[in-house]
Amino acid sequence: MNKIYRSVYNKVLGTWVAASEQTAARGKPARAKSGAMFVAGVLLASAGAMSDVANAAVAVSDKGMSTNTAGTASINGSSGGLGSTASANSIAMVGDADCNLLTNTNAQSVYGDGLANSYKGGIYGFGVQNSATSYNDPTNVGAGQPDGMKAFDTMTAGYVTETGNGVASTEAFGLNSIAMGCGSHANGFGAVAQGWGAVADGAGAVAFGINSTAVGQGAFASGIAANAAGDDSIALGTLASATANGAIAIGATSVASGENALAFGLNAAASTANSMALGANAAASADNAVALGAGSVADRENSVSVGAAGAERQITNVAAGTADTDAVNVSQMKKAGLIAADGSAKVAVTYDQNPDGTSDYSNLTLGNNVAGGTTIHNVAAGVADMDAVNVGQLNAAVGNMDSAVNDLNAAVANATNLAEAARNPLFAAYGDKNTEAASASGVYATAMGAKASASGMNAVAVGVNSSATADNSVALGAGAVADRANTVSVGAVGSERQVTNVAAGTEGTDAVNLNQLDAAKQEAKSYADSRMSQSLSSVQDSVHDVLRKSYAGTAAAMAVAGLPQPTQPGKIMVAMAGGRYGGQTGGALGISYVTNNNKWVGKLAANTSTTGNTGVVIGAGYQW
């Protein structure tokens, strides 16, 4: 178990020995100091009844006490040390006014702990075998450093350089300021510095602990080498550091260096404005970023991180989001059809789900996790910007584009010739510059050719009587008119041109040529032919079935017609007959009767065919 030792006086042995920090110390060296401190306590307790003292400067050391109602009070140490100094209405107190200073106490040397002979520390060493050897030796002692520091000698031990005794002073300057401890300084209205080397600089600044520092109005530092350097900043814990206005660092070695930043936990770091790091080793390094949990890293502005790369965390118990900026949970994602029941992402758009979990086929679905996708047929021509287009519209658009591209190629060729001619000393333009001059009245517009006009912003008109009136429009060729923004025109209504020698387009906004269009048309035709072939085959099968059934019906009718009947009065005849037509066969069975007076004839018959259909017929006739 690690222990902290200090030197106490053993009356039986008559010497100073190392003892636990809970052990009480008695002896002659303590009497003078405790007497002065007692007097100071009595004086402070009775300040309300002693107005002169209450408004005075009070300085206390092991040599005694000094007060001054009209100015600064100072008192040296009993062995010649600098003692303490207090301004009006302030208190400066030091137990041992002959103390020394610590220097070069960097972050690694102010505080540390270790095991056995392996130790890296500074002001206090918390090691298994460390022990103090003499009074006033605050540095770590252990293997490699057995003797501590000697009084009135300047020396370096481990990571700490300690001046000789008698060079440190305790000072309190500012109304109601208090400085207590060797080398402590309180500077500012109501400033409080308590601890060896503690510094409170600023109105209301408070520093508690060895080498703690609070600089700035309302700054608060508590802990070994804690540092609060900013207005209203707070640093709590060994080596805690809050170095910006409103910054808060709580926890050993925590750092809050951004304005209004918050670092909470061992070695937590919030380095940017309004950032927050909560948890051991959490780090927030972007403005308004929040790192939640041990080891979490938030390095993007206005983000919340609950882990780090390779150490991610789940966020559980998330309620279903209701507003646009709310987080959603897995249950909502499943209901939206974006992830499967096992949590895996779906790779295609699927049907919406009904409340009972079944698919809602009334809504459009593509793919449904079937390879190859889905072809949408019978698509109406789109009319709005966000409507789907069909192949017919595409073919028409490609045709128009083909014509426009051909015209554009011609115009580009003309422009190329113009550019080449511009470098040719033989270049010439025909026309009267006084009556046929080109006009470019639009901002950054360009016009070339007799009576060419470019009046739109960034418009270009090239060619005799060409006109570009819309912004960012281009009119190429004689008489060309570009009157729509962001368009290229190679002609005019009634004077259209082809654009030839167009390379095959490769990007979504490239022009397409006839070859590409033909290929697309051929692909569409092949698809249509395939579908037509399937449809024709189905129609042929249907027609063949109808013909077969009609042929069979004809054969059955023929069989009925072929049934004989009696020719004598009062006779009955049962007859059979058969018929064949178009490769189909029909048969009939009938019974007929002639009345005794030979006037009436009646017949009943039934038939069938090779298609399995049957029929019944009945008839009667009168003869004379």
Contact 60, 37 (CB under 8 A): yes
Taking the C-alpha atoms of residue 89 and residue 69, their distance in angstroms, rounded to an integer, is 8
Contact 279, 268 (CB under 8 A): yes
- DSSP-derived secondary structure letter, 418: H
Both tokens assigned to 480? 């060309």
Q: Find the range with the poorest average confidence among 122-131, 174-183, 406-415, 443-452.
A: 122-131
Residue-wise pLDDT tens digits, 566-594: 989 989 999 998 899 988 999 999 999 99
pLDDT reported for residue 292: 95
Contact 278, 270 (CB under 8 A): no
Greatest mean pLDDT among 174-183, 199-208, 333-342: 199-208
Contact 189, 138 (CB under 8 A): no
pLDDT reported for residue 510: 84
Question: Where do the domains of the chain lie, and which CATH numbers do they carry?
Answer: 395-512 (2.150.10.10), 552-622 (3.30.1300.30)
Residue-wise pLDDT tens digits, 341-396: 777 766 556 666 788 877 777 766 665 556 666 677 787 888 887 777 888 878 88
Closest CA to 25 of 1, 12, 8, 43: 8
Mean pLDDT, all residues of the chain: 75
Where is pLDDT greater, at 371 or 298? 298
Q: For the residues 140-154, what does the mean pLDDT come to?
A: 40
Residue-wise pLDDT tens digits, 302-320: 999 999 999 999 898 989 9
- DSSP-derived secondary structure letter, 308: B
Contact 477, 414 (CB under 8 A): yes
Contact 533, 526 (CB under 8 A): no
Q: Find the range with the poorest average confidence among 155-164, 218-227, 529-538.
A: 155-164
Question: Under DSSP, is residue 506 helix (H, G, I), strand (E, B) or coil?
Answer: coil
Residue 601: burial class (beta carbons within 10 Å; 0-12, 13-18, 19+): middle
Strands, E assignment, 226-332: 227-229, 234-236, 241-242, 248-250, 255-256, 262-264, 269-270, 276-278, 283-284, 290-292, 297-298, 304-305
Whether residue 23 has pLDDT greater than 90:
no
pLDDT reported for residue 483: 95
Greatest mean pLDDT among 154-163, 331-340, 420-429: 331-340
Whether residue 465 has pLDDT greater than 50:
yes
pLDDT reported for residue 213: 95
pLDDT reported for residue 19: 41
Both tokens assigned to 461? 């008109």
Question: Under DSSP, is residue 52 helix (H, G, I), strand (E, B) or coil?
Answer: helix
